[in-house]
Amino acid sequence: MKLVTIVAGLLMVAVANAQEKPMLAEQAFKNVRVLKGIPVDQFMATMGFFSASLGETCTDCHSAESGGNWDKYADDNPRKETARRMLGMMNAINKTYFGGRREITCYSCHRGVERPDVTPNLADLYGPPPSKEPDELREPTSSKAPSADLILDRYIQAIGGVDRVAKLTSFAAKGTYQGYQDEKYPMDVFAKAPNQLSTVIHTAAGDSTTTYNGSAGWIAGPATERPVALLELTGGDLEGARLDAAVWFPAQIKLALTQWRGASSAIIDGRDVQMIQGTGDGRYPVNLYFDSKSGLLARVVRYTESPVGLNPTQIDYADYREVAGVRMPYRVTVTWLDGKSITEFSEIQPNVAIEAERFAKPPRPALNK
């Protein structure tokens, strides 16, 4: 099923009437009884966290009819009731035993299954260890480990050097966007230094636009059955949009995050990488992984908040090619708790004029054709 499209579409629908302030879940939805007082994007992040924790799709917990019919998500059923009770249990455990810190989440027990294991499994104990990619910064393995500053400088060097990077001040790119188990759609990306980025995916139902103007961000897209909507990004999603924009003008990366730490070595996809860590909002770390050999940025992992736990987003950069003397990634793979997308560029035009409206708050998208 087209989970990604559905979630994105749902967000749009949910916030149809959102104006200045981010809309709260209970204002957007009909039957919210526990997860109140949080913006719609955090509410949807919670749904993603539930699905990932239990290894379920949305319709497993809601109903088969809710696929494609947003009204049906409001209907109650025994599983939804159980999930609400579990929320209460989780909060009670954390409050009673962990001083209110969020030590136990849905994932702590469920680990991707509906019914948590009860008995240790001998096959797991003696079989090969599950592959897990590094997400915590260990202390540098040797005192010779380079600092975050050096790794970032080396990256700038690897893609073309300070001067050339500074001369790339905008670009317009064309390519394709493919969501998880979905078809490929044409897409356009517009970027302007130091920190503006707009991505337009031309889906079958209409354009889906994500825009960051340097301080605020939005997602606007086609609604399938109800009025069209516009969502203002908040919290970790906004921080994420800021970093996504900075990555395209790499001299900005140092400025986009603070409290840099690192480096420590790790392996991803069989390659040696060096990981450094910074933070956007002072609370959650952002991990950046650089290929040890080439010095190129291979991956960014960042987190957004939800009331039940942090939602990781992983962005892999690959297929670097030269544009105006600067090496840029032509393939970007984004993986999050309930979806995955692959962007492949066919052309990137450097230093083109881009009208300011590209980065302004998007208009309400047109209705379906």
Residues of this chain that interact with ligand HEC (CB under 6 A) are: 7, 10, 29-35, 47-48, 50-51, 54, 56, 58, 60-62, 73-74, 79-80, 82-84, 86-87, 90, 104, 106, 108-110, 114-116, 308, 338
Query: Cα angle at 178 between 172 and 181, to 5 degrees?
Result: 175
Both tokens of residue 364?
A: 């309400």
Closest distance to ligand HEC from the beta carbon of 6 (Å): 6
Distance from C-alpha of 259 to C-alpha of 315, rounded to nearest angstrom: 21
Closest distance to ligand HEC from the beta carbon of 112 (Å): 12
| Structure-derived torsion over alpha carbons of residues 78, 79, 85, 91, reported in degrees to the nearest 10 | -170
Q: Which is nearer to ligand HEC, 93 or 216 (CB)?
A: 93
Q: Which is nearer to ligand HEC, 35 or 197 (CB)?
A: 35
For residue 144, which amino acid is it?
A: K
Q: Which is nearer to ligand HEC, 54 or 348 (CB)?
A: 54
Q: Which is nearer to ligand HEC, 85 or 184 (CB)?
A: 85
CA of 151: how far to CAs of 21, 164, 289, in Å?
39, 18, 10
Closest distance to ligand HEC from the beta carbon of 221 (Å): 15
Q: Which is nearer to ligand HEC, 90 or 223 (CB)?
A: 90
Distance from C-alpha of 166 to C-alpha of 160, rounded to nearest angstrom: 10
Both tokens of residue 25?
A: 């879940």
Distance from C-alpha of 337 to C-alpha of 339, rounded to nearest angstrom: 6
Closest distance to ligand HEC from the beta carbon of 108 (Å): 6
Distance from C-alpha of 122 to C-alpha of 100, rounded to nearest angstrom: 34
Q: Which is nearer to ligand HEC, 89 or 366 (CB)?
A: 89
CB atoms < 10 A from the CB of 168, how many? 23
Q: Which is nearer to ligand HEC, 56 or 237 (CB)?
A: 56
Closest distance to ligand HEC from the beta carbon of 322 (Å): 39
Closest distance to ligand HEC from the beta carbon of 50 (Å): 4
- Tallying the residues shown for the chain, one arrives at 369
Closest distance to ligand HEC from the beta carbon of 134 (Å): 25
Distance from C-alpha of 210 to C-alpha of 352, rounded to nearest angstrom: 20
CB 16, CB 227: distance < 8 Å: yes
CB 22, CB 14: distance < 8 Å: no
Q: Which is nearer to ligand HEC, 180 or 284 (CB)?
A: 180
CB 284, CB 275: distance < 8 Å: no
CB 266, CB 273: distance < 8 Å: yes
Closest distance to ligand HEC from the beta carbon of 7 (Å): 5
